[in-house]
């Protein structure tokens, strides 16, 4: 074998939650797994709010206590409701998901999962960027990479798992990546200290706020840190002038309850901005390769689905790849079943995401009713129960009918608000007052 060449059964590109999940589970099957991450842990990442549906995967991986040590317990999510807020407690879900989740600092969480993969025997390497791949089907995958010092590495693998996140290695290489025309947004965010938390058991809950140009998250983390960010229509974010700090603080000041909770808070990180949030790849698999998590698609983080979908698809991909390696003739059949399952879960979240900022959805989340267990069905969706519960799916179908009926009834108000929002989006940003110290 030429110097600088590695042979393995499976090459996993990416060191995030999806990549570490699939790498660990494939290694446990007895495969030789090489996992390459272009950066070095710890590296900052958003997506700090996990779902109850993550917990069974933590048990499968054997990392539950490690996650518990890193996280803040999250019993639910709250949404604005008039002058107060409405809390959706995970314990009221009608599915089988656990009654809580965790909020984590992603740099710690991702590093833990990556190191856990290594502890399970994965050849997990950091600072190695895959630059080019050649795909020739099962048993004939070649990747060309370079480490941080510029040294070349050639990998010959039987299978490739693209878990490269928003870099979407294969999505770009094969020209599969497309903007999601149904939902475009961009985000601006930072970490703060001394933000007021909800009382009692709600202290670890995520808070979701709406404003005229998008929505905002407020996520309690360990050590008194709170992650706060705004997901905005791109037209609004493009208006920013001057310092990003001023723009973020002025945006957060548009939400009175959030501004009140941030009185006396201090910004303790740089402000980060990311655009073109929503995309999807036309395919998620092919001969000898498969995509997991954000490498295939990303919609919007409003329901904290990103990490769960990445880890769930990583778990399913491990089973799919393992079976395909054992029976190559079944690869297409296995991949189609994998795709059908993953698309189904993403479709459930997407339906709510595309409509979240509509007047109808805001009203239904602010003033929920539990007739026919509809509120509990929505809570089950918020908990991540979007794959295997026919009961939850039936409740969500009824919820869609209620949404449609309410929308028809209030069509004139909805159109009026849409016109106002578009007009506001064309209004130049002029700054604003905020009680937060940006230093």
Give the torsion sign (CA, 381, 386, 388, 394): positive
Q: In the prediction, which pLDDT does 239 show?
A: 82
Structure tokens at 255: 């939400």
- CA–CA distance from 219 to each of 207, 228, 243 (Å)? 7, 6, 23
Q: Which residues of 88-114 are buried (b: 16+ CB within 10 A; e: fewer)?
A: bbbebbbbebbebbbbbbbebbbbbbb
On the 0-12 / 13-18 / 19+ scale of CB atoms within 10 A, 298 is buried
Alpha helix ranges (H) inside 53-134: 54-61, 64-70, 106-119
Q: Is the peptide bond before 42 cis (omega within 30 degrees of 0)?
A: yes
**Contact, 103 vs 48, CB < 8 A?**
yes
27 in Cβ contact with 116 (< 8 Å): no
Residue 4: predicted pLDDT: 84
3-state secondary structure of 187: strand
Rounded Cα gap, residues 313 and 318, in angstroms: 8
**How many CA atoms does the CB half-sphere of 129 hold within 13 Å?**
8
Q: Residues 26, 35: contact at Cβ < 8 Å?
A: no
**Token pair belonging to 265:** 């808070």
Q: Report pTM.
A: 0.92
- Helix, strand, coil shares of the chain, percent, nearest 5, are 40, 25, 30
d(CA 364, CA 55): 28
pLDDT given for residue 436 in this prediction: 60
pLDDT for the residue 426: 55
Q: What is the pLDDT of residue 437?
A: 57
In tens digits, the chain (439 residues) has pLDDT values of: 566 899 999 999 999 999 999 999 999 999 999 999 999 999 988 899 999 999 999 999 999 999 999 999 999 999 988 888 999 999 999 989 999 999 999 999 999 999 999 999 999 999 999 999 999 999 999 999 999 899 999 999 999 999 999 999 999 999 999 988 777 788 999 999 999 999 999 999 999 999 988 899 999 999 999 999 999 887 888 888 778 999 999 999 999 999 999 999 999 999 999 876 689 999 999 999 999 999 999 988 889 999 999 999 999 999 999 999 999 999 999 999 999 999 999 999 999 988 888 888 888 898 888 888 999 999 999 999 999 999 999 999 999 999 898 878 777 766 666 666 556 555 554 554 444 655 5
Length of the chain, in residues: 439
* CB neighbour list of residue 56: distance below 8 Å, 6 or more residues apart: 98
DSSP state of 301: S
Question: What domains are there in the chain, each with its CATH number?
Answer: 5-44+106-178+281-344 (3.50.50.60), 49-54+62-104+185-275+357-439 (3.30.9.100)
**Distance in angstroms (rounded) separating the CA atoms of residues 395 and 304:** 21
The stretches of 253-389 forming alpha helices (DSSP H) are 256-261, 306-326, 331-355, 359-366, 374-382
**Cα–Cα distance between 5 and 145 in angstroms, integer?**
10
């Amino acid at each position: 074998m030429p110097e600088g060449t590695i042979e393995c059964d499976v090459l996993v590109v990416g060191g995030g939650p999806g990549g570490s999940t699939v790498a660990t589970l494939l290694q446990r099957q007895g495969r030789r797994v090489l996992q390459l991450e272009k950066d070095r842990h710890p590296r900052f990442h958003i997506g700090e709010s996990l779902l109850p549906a993550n917990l069974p995967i933590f048990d499968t991986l054997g990392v539950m206590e490690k996650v518990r040590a890193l996280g803040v317990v999250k019993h639910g999510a709250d949404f604005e409701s008039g002058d107060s807020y409405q809390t959706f407690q995970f314990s009221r879900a009608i599915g089988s998901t656990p009654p809580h989740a965790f909020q984590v600092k992603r740099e710690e969480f991702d590093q833990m999962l990556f190191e856990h993969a290594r502890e399970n025997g994965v050849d997990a390497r950091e600072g190695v960027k895959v630059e080019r791949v050649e795909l020739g089907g099962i048993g004939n995958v070649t990747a060309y990479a370079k480490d941080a010092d510029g040294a070349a590495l050639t990998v010959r693998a039987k299978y490739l798992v693209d878990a490269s996140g928003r870099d979407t290695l294969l999505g770009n290489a094969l020209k599969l990546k497309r903007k999601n025309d149904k939902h475009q947004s961009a985000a601006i965010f930072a970490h703060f200290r001394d933000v007021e938390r909800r009382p009692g058991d709600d202290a670890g809950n995520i808070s979701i706020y709406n404003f005229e140009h998008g929505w905002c998250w407020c996520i309690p983390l360990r050590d008194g840190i709170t992650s706060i960010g705004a997901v905005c229509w791109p037209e609004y974010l493009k208006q920013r002038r001057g310092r990003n700090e001023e723009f973020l603080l002025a945006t957060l000041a548009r939400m009175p309850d959030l501004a009140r909770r941030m009185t006396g808070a201090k910004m303790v990180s740089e402000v980060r901005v990311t655009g073109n949030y929503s995309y999807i790849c036309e395919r998620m698999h092919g001969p000898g390769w498969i995509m997991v998590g954000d490498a295939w698609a990303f919609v919007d983080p409003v329901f904290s689905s990103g990490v769960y979908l990445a880890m769930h698809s990583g778990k399913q991909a491990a089973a799919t790849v393992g079976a395909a390696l054992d029976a190559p003739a079944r690869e297409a059949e296995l991949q189609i079943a994998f795709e059908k399952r993953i698309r189904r879960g993403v479709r459930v979240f997407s339906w709510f995401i595309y409509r979240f900022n509509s007047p109808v959805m805001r009203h239904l989340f602010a003033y929920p009713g539990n007739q026919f267990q509809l509120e509990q069905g929505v809570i089950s969706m918020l908990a991540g129960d979007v794959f295997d519960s026919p009961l939850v799916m039936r409740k969500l179908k009824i919820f869609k009918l209620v949404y449609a009926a309410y929308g028809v009834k209030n069509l004139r108000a909805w159109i009026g608000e849409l016109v106002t929002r578009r007009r506001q989006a064309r209004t130049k940003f002029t700054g604003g007052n905020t009680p937060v110290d940006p230093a």
